[in-house]
Structure 1
Amino acid sequence: MPTDHPQARTRPYVLISAAMSLDGYLDDTSNQRLRLSNPDDFDRVDAVRADCDAILVGATTVRRDNPRLLIGSPTRRAHRLAQGRPAHPTKITLTTKGLDPSLAFFTTAGDKIVYCPQPALPTLEKELADVADVTAAGDPLDLGLILDDLAGRGIRTLMVEGGGTLLTQFLTQDLVDEIHLAIAPFFVGEAAAPRFVGRGTFPQNATHRMHVAEVRQIGDVALVRYLAGRRG
């Protein structure tokens, strides 16, 4: 992540954060959320979140995992407030259809933005206008338009936490600056389970390799941090 936030940036600095099994899965096929990480790594993720202006997850993640996407540490929240920032990053999701306004994404603290295709805007505004800022971003949804809109809102650092379809879209469209990948020491081995990324044409390939910025052991998890090289 950059140490400064120059105003000249036209789009936010995009950081992907994910935990996966050794065979590349984000979860298994059970009804219970698979714990891929450990308490020390959860705390690291909390610290990264606290440095970001916004957190983005897909609508499937909102429905399946019911995440709050909040800063857990009171010390980090207080530090953000002392900097003149909100206690929690802005929460963002993308959807083409309705979301339950009683989900934790909407009912817990923090500003919320829901991006949708233009045709879905009237319906989603009726359903979610009381709990989120609902904004159209193309038809179909255009990640570039979303990043441009976020830049206009003053969002300079964006953390993308999944799921796999959204991560694949950001990576194949070359919209990622940095990747934090926590690798759990076990296999899932279920073909129907969600993967870190799906099929696609990736600019980060054997010819254009990413830079390894850090490798760190956190308990039984290995953290690998890559710089994806967007914008040269």
Structure 2
Amino acid sequence: MDAPDTAPGTPQAESLEVLYQSPGLPRWRLPPALAALYGSDLGFTEPCLYANFVASLDGVVALGPEYRHSGSTISGREPADRFTMGLLRACADAVVIGAGTLRASPRHHWTPQHVHPSGAADFAELRRRRGRAADPELVVVTARGALPADHPALQTGALVITTATVAAHLRSSLPASCTILAAGQGPALSMREVLDAVHNRGHRVLLTEGGPYLVGQFIAGGLLDELFLTTAPVLAGRIDAARPGLIAGQEFLPALRHPASLASVRRHASYLFLRYQFHRSITDASDILP
């Protein structure tokens, strides 16, 4: 999901109405204010990799490289969507993005309170209950190393995963607050090796807010466990510009089928908040990021 910057005077989120929830979902005990807004407790089976997107009614998740913060344009900065984004970050040990998402959000911090400031104390309490650091670790995946070294999220500190060749260059160009890890010897990255590197840091519950290309690679490798999808009541349209849906750079049907089960449906006004769980049985697609 594209990461919007916090706007002053953002309206407070209202509670989500639970329309459907699959029985037996894992649940962590949320602080009461978070549980009231979400409509229930929330949890994940470990290890878990889940994605979060907002899409228009016609399936657009990004308006094109010339539009920064296109996710917030699609969502209309709906407070319920921003709360949900913050909650999903608060549940995660780490937030995984690609270099393109980092460049497209030049002032962003991938922390829960950045998108929902009024929930900061409750997000912090949730993380304390789970014995986690104050904020999830930011993980930036890049095969080419085209990263803005002055980005505030890198200045604060991030884990950057790249190839061995690019890692040698980045160690001298990124802030000392960043940790650089190599997850491949050639010009490509294996998404399995990327996740292994993150897991080796003790992170078991991972949120990806990467764009359609990165998420497409995770799905192609059979690595994505869950998808949270906000459907915004707006049409984006397409002419000639590349306005991708959830997945770019991959084709599955008709040759491959990646089935998902509906786990929950929530509603606020005309926005729908959907949760799907994927079945990892399909793993014969390439998991290589060019």
| TM-score, normalisation: structure 1 | 0.87
Q: For residue 71 of structure 1, what is the aligned residue in structure 2? A: 112
Q: How does 1:34-73 map to 2 (within 5 A)?
A: 34=70, 35=72, 36-37=74-75, 38-66=78-106, 67-72=108-113, 73=120
Q: How does 1:8-27 map to 2 (within 5 A)?
A: 12-27=47-62
Alignment of 1:209 onto 2:259: yes
Contact 1:71-1:87 at 8 Å conserved across structures: no
Shift of 1:218: 2.4
1:99 maps to a residue whose letter is L
Q: For residue 84 of structure 1, what is the aligned residue in structure 2? A: 131
194 and 5 in structure 1: CA distance in 2 versus 1, 3 angstrom threshold: closer
Give the greater-gyration-radius structure (CA).
Answer: 2
Large movers: runs of 4+ above 4 Å: 1-6, 203-208
CA RMSD in angstroms comes to: 2.5
1:13 maps to a residue whose letter is C
Contact 1:25-1:188 at 8 Å conserved across structures: yes
Mapped to 1, the partners of 2:269 and 2:44 lie a distance apart of 32
Contact 2:94-2:205 at 8 Å conserved across structures: yes
Q: For residue 224 of structure 1, what is the aligned residue in structure 2? A: 274
Mapped to 1, the partners of 2:54 and 2:149 lie a distance apart of 27
Contact 1:78-1:87 at 8 Å conserved across structures: no
Q: For residue 195 of structure 1, what is the aligned residue in structure 2? A: 245
Q: Give per-residue Cα distances to partners, 1:129-165, cap 9 Å, x unaligned.
A: 5131011111211110111122211111010112111
Q: How does 1:167-182 map to 2 (within 5 A)?
A: 167-182=215-230
Mapped to 1, the partners of 2:206 and 2:199 lie a distance apart of 10
171 and 204 in structure 1: CA distance in 2 versus 1, 3 angstrom threshold: farther
Larger deviation, residues 57-66 vs 34-43: 34-43
Q: Give per-residue Cα distances to partners, 1:13-69, cap 9 Å, x unaligned.
A: 110111111222122245342322211121012111111100011100100123310
Match of 1:93 among 137, 140, 160: 140
Mapped to 2, the partners of 1:164 and 1:185 lie a distance apart of 20
Q: Give per-residue Cα distances to partners, 1:69-95, cap 9 Å, x unaligned.
A: 012122211332354321100100111
Structure 2, unaligned runs of 5 or more? 1-24, 28-42, 114-119, 283-290
Mapped to 1, the partners of 2:145 and 2:256 lie a distance apart of 37
90 and 187 in structure 1: CA distance in 2 versus 1, 3 angstrom threshold: same
Contact 2:258-2:278 at 8 Å conserved across structures: no
Alignment of 1:28 onto 2:63: yes
205 and 229 in structure 1: CA distance in 2 versus 1, 3 angstrom threshold: farther
Contact 2:93-2:204 at 8 Å conserved across structures: yes
Q: For residue 164 of structure 2, what is the aligned residue in structure 1? A: 118
**Percentage of pairs with the same residue:** 27
Mapped to 2, the partners of 1:204 and 1:151 lie a distance apart of 33
Q: Give per-residue Cα distances to partners, 1:90-113, cap 9 Å, x unaligned.
A: 1001112231222122134xx510
Mapped to 2, the partners of 1:212 and 1:219 lie a distance apart of 21
204 and 221 in structure 1: CA distance in 2 versus 1, 3 angstrom threshold: farther
Contact 1:19-1:184 at 8 Å conserved across structures: yes
Shift of 1:227: 0.5
2:69 maps to a residue whose letter is R
